[in-house]
């Protein structure tokens, strides 16, 4: 039972066969900064992220049934307290590898996201609009998704891009619009990654 917990800073559930996450995690807003729920049977998350004001890191990897995110993960301006007080979302990093997403969720297509790992999902298409909406993105991992095309990227802050096992080659990806990306940190094969 998690209802009495209110002072936790980091919370992790790993390798448990739970099927749902209690809405009571939304009561941890004052202290929680990192939330990890990995390798479970959950198919959805509670829509309480507007109450988790300080959470910056979310790890929902290896949840094979998870294919959507709640709307509040995408909120950039979060109301808190009374009156018209607002806090800007602290979520900057998401690990969604080995889930069941078929595309980049609309909730993460916004500024503020710096790290996104969606390796080994069911993504077949990524658009320039989706990626350019994440203007602060520094690291993008799409390994293992079968992509037939990749748009020209213009993300000014991207410093690492991994497309291992996507079926794409270096010649198929236009990296000319990425001023901070060192080609040393663009990976198309595991050997390239291991060499760094």
Kindly give, in sequence order, each residue whose CB lies less than 8 Å from that of residue 83, ignoring residues fewer than 6 positions away.
none
What phi and psi, each to the nearest 5 degrees, are found at residue 57?
-130, 125
Give me 178's structure tokens.
Answer: 């990425």
CA atoms of 114 and 118, how far apart (whole Å): 13
CA atoms of 114 and 91, how far apart (whole Å): 9
**Whether the Cβ atoms of residue 160 and residue 180 lie closer than 8 Å to each other:** no
CA atoms of 18 and 115, how far apart (whole Å): 26
Per-residue pLDDT of the chain (196 residues; tens, 9 = 90+): 344 444 567 888 899 989 998 888 888 767 788 899 999 999 999 999 888 878 889 999 999 999 999 998 877 666 666 666 666 667 899 999 999 999 999 999 998 999 999 999 999 999 999 999 999 999 999 999 999 889 998 888 999 999 999 999 999 999 888 878 887 899 999 999 999 8
SS3 87: strand
- pTM for the complete prediction? 0.89
| Interior angle at CA 191, CA 185 and CA 194, nearest 5 | 65
């Amino acid at each position: 039972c998690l209802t009495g917990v209110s002072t936790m800073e980091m919370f992790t559930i790993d390798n448990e066969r739970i099927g749902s996450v209690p809405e009571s995690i939304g009561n941890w807003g004052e202290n929680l900064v990192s939330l990890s729920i990995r390798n479970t049977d959950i198919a959805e998350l509670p829509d309480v992220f507007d109450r988790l004001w300080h959470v910056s890191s979310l790890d929902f990897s290896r949840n094979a049934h998870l294919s959507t995110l709640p709307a509040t993960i995408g909120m950039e301006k979060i109301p808190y307290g009374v009156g018209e007080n607002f806090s800007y979302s602290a979520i900057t990093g998401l690990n969604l590898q080995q889930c069941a997403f078929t595309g980049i969720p609309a909730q993460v297509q916004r500024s503020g996201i710096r790290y996104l790992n969606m390796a080994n999902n069911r993504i077949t298409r990524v658009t320039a609009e989706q990626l350019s909406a994440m203007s602060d993105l520094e690291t993008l991992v799409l390994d293992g998704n079968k992509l037939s095309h990749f748009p020209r990227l213009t993300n000014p802050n991207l410093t690492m891009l991994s497309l291992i096992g996507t079926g794409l080659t270096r010649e198929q990806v236009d990296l000319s619009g990425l001023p901070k990306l060192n080609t040393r940190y663009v990976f198309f094969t595991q050997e390239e990654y291991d060499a760094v």
